[in-house]
Amino acid sequence: MDEARISRRGLSPRLWLAGGWLLLALLAAIFAPLVAPQDPLAQDLMLERLPPFWLDGAEPGYWLGTDSLGRDLLSRLIFGGRIAFIVAFAAAIAACLVGSVLGLIAGYFGGWADRIISRIVDIWMAFPPVLFAILLVAVLGTGLSSVILAIAIIDWTRFCRVIRAEAMGQSRMDYVENARIAGYGRIGIMLREVLPNVVPSIVALLSLEMGIAVIVEAILSFVNLSIATDDPTWGGIIAEGRLSIHQAWWVLVFPLITLILTVLSFSQFGEALKTRFDPVLR
């Protein structure tokens, strides 16, 4: 394992880059009102479709240019990061809690609990996830909490499937048998012995899920089914950019770069965390 070799020597450059980008984007989002050069909602038709700073016709203060309503692109990206990170953290943690608990129960207890939970997972896997997300937000009504809830409702199965398999493997290990002989209760063993051993997988999945949540939010706001207000979102900016692609390419390029960097960083982070936490690989 290359990752393991690298993590033994300390953090890899790739991990530094990933962590650095996420930290930068997160801090910018938190301190958006202080960092953003312009009001992200301010429209000015005199300033429409200004190009980014290195091109002719750029205006100082509008570093990445403006969209077709004259709104500053950089400020919109910074404020859009707020929605993206809130959704990433909240949806991933919610999906993780539900999926891990059900996965632990199914994998460790087996029997009827496993059969019922596995059947529900099968049903969930037979839905096209993007369509399911769009449907749920349409049903729940647009808004930040709907988006978070929809992602959690769909993606808990990612955690459940992996944790179920791991818990099943762990519960056959000798140490679990020993704990049982020592007189520990089943729930006690599950929480004290099995759970700590599946934590590396949970943490790695959590990081990957944050990247997925960012994408799903972008897709939802791309089809105009995300938050109900005018607040900028990365997917919403992309939708505008897709429409004005022949007049103002930068409105599509910059949010796209932002999304790609964020998703790549979350997945790099997940991989690295997994190898760092895993006692066998370490």
Partner 1 sequence: MLLQRFLIRLLTMLITLFGVAVVVFVVIRVAPGDPIAMMLPPGATNDDIARLRALYGLDKTIVQQFFIWLSGVARGDFGTSISLRQDVLGLVFNRLPATLELAIVALVMAVAIGGTTAILGARERGTAVEAGIDIASGAALSIPDFLWGLVLILLFGVLVPIFDISGRVSPQLDLPFVTQFYFFESLLRLRFDLTWDLLKHMLMPAVALALPLAAIISQLLKQSLKEVLDLDYVVLARVKGFSETQVILREALKNAALPTLTLIGVQFTFLIGGTVIVERLFSYEGLGNMAIDAVINRDLPLIQGIVLVFALLFVLINLVVDMMYALLNPRLRHG
Closest CB 117 distance from partner 1, rounded Å: 13
Determine the interface stretch with partner 1 among 27-35, 73-81, 190-198, 216-224 (rule: CB under 8 A).
216-224
Q: Which CB atom, from 199 or from 264, has the smaller least distance to partner 1?
A: 264
- Size of interface with partner 1, in residues (CB under 8 A): 40
Q: Name the amino acid, one letter, at 149.
A: L
For the bound state, the minimum distance from the C-beta of residue 237 to partner 1, rounded and expressed in Å, comes to 12
Q: Which stretch binds partner 1 (CB under 8 A): 65-73, 115-123, 164-172, 179-187?
A: 115-123
Listed residue (244, 232, 262) closest to 74, CA to CA: 232
Within residues 263-282, the interface with partner 1 by CB under 8 A covers 263-264, 267-268
Q: Hey, is 72 helix, strand or coil?
A: strand
234 near partner 1, rule: CB under 8 A:
no
By the 8 A CB rule, do 196 and 170 touch? no
How far is 277 from 197, CA to CA, in rounded Å? Answer: 10
Provide the token pair at 114.
Answer: 């496993």
State the Cα–Cα distance between residues 99 and 79, nearest whole angstrom.
Answer: 30
CB of 32 to partner 1, least distance (A): 23
149 is a site residue for partner 1 (CB under 8 A): no
Residue 188 as a binder of partner 1 (CB under 8 A): the answer is no
**Interface contacts to partner 1, rule CB under 8 A:** 119-120, 122-123, 125-132, 134-136, 138-139, 141, 211-212, 215, 218-219, 222-223, 225, 238, 242, 245-246, 249, 252-253, 256, 259-260, 263-264, 267-268
